[in-house]
Structure 1
C-alpha cells in the first residue's frame, strides 16, 4: 500500500513559518538580557522579567487561542497572530527604555502563543492520520533547528553589529513567517460546537481528552527548564563555557539523527515504545550532566538529553492531538502548550531557588530522579491504556473484516 504524502507544499509552508517564528524567539531570548543590561541599565531582576513576561503572555492566551481557532477558522487566526508578531518585532527598534520593552514582550508573547497554536493545529490537519507521529516529529524538527541557529545568529549579530540591526533582522524573520504561509491551502474544518455557553468555563478553555498527557508534558517541561535556563551558568561554574556553546549543537545533531526513526516507530509500534525509552534517556542525560567534570561528559549528556527531550515533546503533542476530534484539535494543541509553557515558566523560577541552596550539580541529579518519577506519572495517566486501545482497534478490525 502506498504511503500518503507527507512532504507537501502546505506542510513545508507551515513548518517554515514555524521555523522563522522560533528563530526570532530564540534569537531574542539570548540577546535581550544583554540588551537590557548594557543598553537599558537593567538589573538581574529586570532581566528575568523581560524573559518571563513573554512566557506569561503566551500562557495566558493559549487557552483562548484554542477557542478562537475553532470559532474564526485556521487561516484568519494565523493571519491575526502573525500580524501581532510582526508589529511587536518591528517596534523593538524603538524600545529605548524598560517599560515599553516589557509591554512589547507581553504583546509579542500573545502573538507567539496564538501563532504557534495555529501552526500546530494546521499541521495536525495536514499530516495523514497513518503518519501522524512521523509528521509531527518532522514538524518539531524545524523548531529544534531554530533552537540551534537562533542563539548563534543572535550572539553573532550582537558581536558584529548594533542592536537596532538585530531587531531589523527579527522583523524580517517575522515577514518571512508570513510569506511562508501566503500561498498554502489550509483545510477547512467546520467550527465545533462549544460544550458550554459560558465562554470562560473550564470546558471551553481546555480540551478534556488532552488533559492527562498535557499534565505529563507540563511536569517534564519543569525539568527541561533546568536545561534551558541554567546549563550555560553551570558550564561557566565548571570552567567549561566553550562546551556550553556546543551543547545544543550536539543536542540537535542527535535529535535530528533519531527523528526519522522515532516518528515512524511511534506510528508503527505505539507511543509507549517511544516514550518510555525517551524518558529514561532524559534521566540518564541529566545524571551524566550532574557528574560532568570534562568537556566529553558535558557533551555526552547532550546526546542523551537530545534524544530524550527532543523525542518527548512532539510525541506527547501527537498524543494530545490524536485524542481530540478534528474540530477540537486547536483546543487540544492549546491545552498541551499551556501546560508545557507553564511548566517551563514555573520550572525556571523554582529550579533557580533550588540551585541557590543545592548547587547546579545537585539540581541536575535531583532532576534525573524527578524525570524517573514522570515515567510513573505517564504510566498512570496514559501508558497503561495503550494495550487496551490496541485490543479495541484489533477487535474493530476483525469485526470489519467479517
Structure 2
C-alpha cells in the first residue's frame, strides 16, 4: 500500500499533463499567428494586432483570479470540465469570428478558459502527487508547458508556410481542443472532504477567498522573474533579425526546451531532498549570466549558449517556485495557491512587453535585455527576504 502511494507516473498524472500540454500548445500556436491574421483578414494596425494577441493573457488573468475560489466550491474536476468545455467552444468559434471586435472577444474568452483549465490541472496534479515527491512531480508536470512553448510556435509558423488559409490553423486547434476535452473523462481526482474546503472559504468578499497569502511571497518573486523574461519571449524575432541571427533565433526555444528536459528530473529530486535554496540561488545567477550573454550576443554560438543558460536558470526557477507555492499551502487550498502563483507570474509576463516596448525605440533591444540583469539580481534579494532565509532557519532547526 505504501509503494502505491509513492507512485509518480500514474495514468491520471500522464493524462492531466497531456491536457495541460495540449491547451498550452494551442495558446502558443495562436500567439505567433493571430496578429498576422488580424492584419491580413481585418486590416488591423500593428498596435491593434498586438492587442489581439495580448488580450488573451488578460483573459487568462481574469480566469485565474476566480478559479481558486471556484475550485474550493466545486472541486478541481468540475472546474476542469467547465474550463475545457469553454476552451473547446471558444477555439471552434474562431471560424465564426467575422470581424475584429468578435475576434478580440473570442480571444478574451479563450484566455479566461485557459486560465480556468490550467489552474485546475495544476491543482489536480498537486492533489494526486505523493506529498514527499511533489517537488519532483511538479517539475515533470511543468515540462508539459515547457515543451508546448517550443513546439507550439514551430507548428504555427510551419502551418502558415504550408497553407495560405488561416482556417487550417483554426481546424488543427479545434481538433486538438476537442481531443483535449474528451481526455477529461479519463481523469480521476482524489476526494477532498467538503468540510475542509468550506472552512477555508468564508462568505462575503475577502481577499483570502481569492488569494492564498502563503503563496504570495514566492508568487511575487515569480512576477519579477516573469517580467525579466517577458522581453525574450516577445521580442525574440525582432532581436534576431536585428542581429542577423534569424536561424539561431528559430532554434533558441528548442535549445531552451532541451536543456530544461535534461535538467528538470535532477532539480525536482534535489528540491524534495535538500529544499529550494540549493536550486533557486544558482538558477537565478545562471539566468543573469544567460541574459548577459543574450544581450551581448553577436554570433550563433553565443545566442544558443544564452538559450541554454536561460533554460537552466529561468526554466528551473519556474517549476521550483511553483512547487514552493504548493508546499507552503494546506491541501484544501491548493487551488487558491496555484491560481495565486500564476496570476502574479502571468502578470509579469503580460505587463513586461508593454512596459519595455516604450524604451525599445530609444534604447534598443540589447540595452533593454542588459537592464534585465539588474532585475534578476534584485529578484535574488527579494527571494532571500521573502522565502529563502526562512527555509535556512527551518533547515538549521532540523539539523
Query: Which TM class, normalised by the smaller chain length?
Result: over 0.9
Which of the numbers 280, 284, 287 marks the counterpart of 2:289? 284
Counterpart residue number, 1:170: 173
Stretches of structure 1 that go unaligned for 5 or more consecutive residues are 396-402
- Look up the match of 2:192: 189
- Alignment-derived partner of residue 32 in structure 1: 34
Unaligned stretches of 5+ in structure 2? Answer: none
Counterpart-to-counterpart distance in 2, 1:342 and 1:151: 21
CA–CA distance in structure 1, aligned partners of residues 332 and 283 of structure 2:
30
2:316 pairs with 1:314: no
Query: What is the aligned partner in structure 2 of residue 20 from structure 1?
Result: 22
Of residues 130-139 and 154-163 in structure 1, the stretch that sits farther from structure 2 once superposed is 154-163
1:91-240 aligned within 5 A = 91-161=93-163, 162-191=165-194, 192-193=197-198, 197-240=202-245
CA contact (8 A) 1:194 1:204 kept: no
Q: Is the 8 A contact 1:23 1:173 kept in 2?
A: no
Q: Contact 1:81 / 1:114 at 8 angstroms: preserved in 2?
A: yes
SS in 1 for 2:359: helix
SS of 1:206's equivalent in the other structure is: coil
Superposed CA deviations along residues 92-150 of structure 1, whole A, max 9, x for unmatched, are 01223211100000100110000000000000011111111110010011111111111
The offset of 1:65, in angstroms, is: 0.4
1:337 and 2:342 correspond: yes
1:382 aligns with 2:387: yes
What secondary structure does 1:186 align onto?
coil
- SS at 1:7 equivalent: coil
Indicate conservation of the 8 Å contact 2:59/2:109, yes or no: yes
Distance in 2, Cα, partners of 1:93 & 1:223: 36
CA distance in 2, matches of 1:23, 1:12: 16
Residues of 2 paired with 1:373 and 1:311: CA distance?
18
Contact 2:294–2:369 (8 Å) recurs in 1: yes
Task: After superposing the two structures, state which structure 1 stretch, 44-53 or 321-330, moved more.
Answer: 44-53
SS of the equivalent of 2:81 reads helix
Counterpart contact for 1:89–1:170, Cα < 8 Å: yes
Q: Establish whether residue 9 from structure 1 lines up as the match of residue 8 from structure 2.
A: no
Contact 1:137–1:259 (CA<8 Å) still a contact in 2?
yes
How far apart are residue 73 of structure 1 and its match? Answer: 0.9
Decide whether the 8 Å contact of 2:72 with 2:201 is kept in 1: no
**After alignment, is 381-390 or 286-295 more displaced?**
381-390
Shift of 1:296: 0.9
Q: State the distance in 2 between where 1:177 and 1:249 align.
A: 24
CA displacement, residues 321-358 of structure 1 (integer Å, 9 cap, x when unaligned):
11111110000000000001111111111111122221
1:187-245 CA-partner distances (Å, limit 9, x unpaired): 11124135564543212110011011111011111011111111211111111111110
After superposition, the Cα gap between the structure-2 partners of 1:354 and 1:267, relative to the gap in structure 1 and judged at 3 Å, is same
Say if 2:254 is the partner of 1:252: no
Give the SS at the match of 1:6: coil
Structure 2 vs 1, CA of residues 77 and 196 (structure 1 numbering), >3 Å: closer, same or farther?
Answer: closer
* Partner Cα separation in structure 1 for residue 269 and residue 176 of structure 2: 31
Other structure's SS at 2:173 match: helix
- Does residue 45 of the first structure (1) align with residue 50 of the second (2)? no
TM-score by length of 2: 0.96
Aligned-residue offset at 1:70: 1.0
Find the counterpart in structure 2 of residue 70 from structure 1: 72
- Separation in structure 1 between the aligned mates of residue 204 and residue 104 of structure 2, nearest angstrom: 29
Whether the 8 Å contact between 2:224 and 2:375 is mirrored in structure 1 is no
Q: Distance in 2 between matches of 1:295 and 1:196?
A: 52
Could you tell me how far apart the structure 2 residues matched to 1:143 and 1:199 are?
35
Give the TM-score, by structure 1 length: 0.95
Cα pair 2:133 2:272 within 8 Å, conserved = yes
Residue 368 (structure 2) aligns with: 363
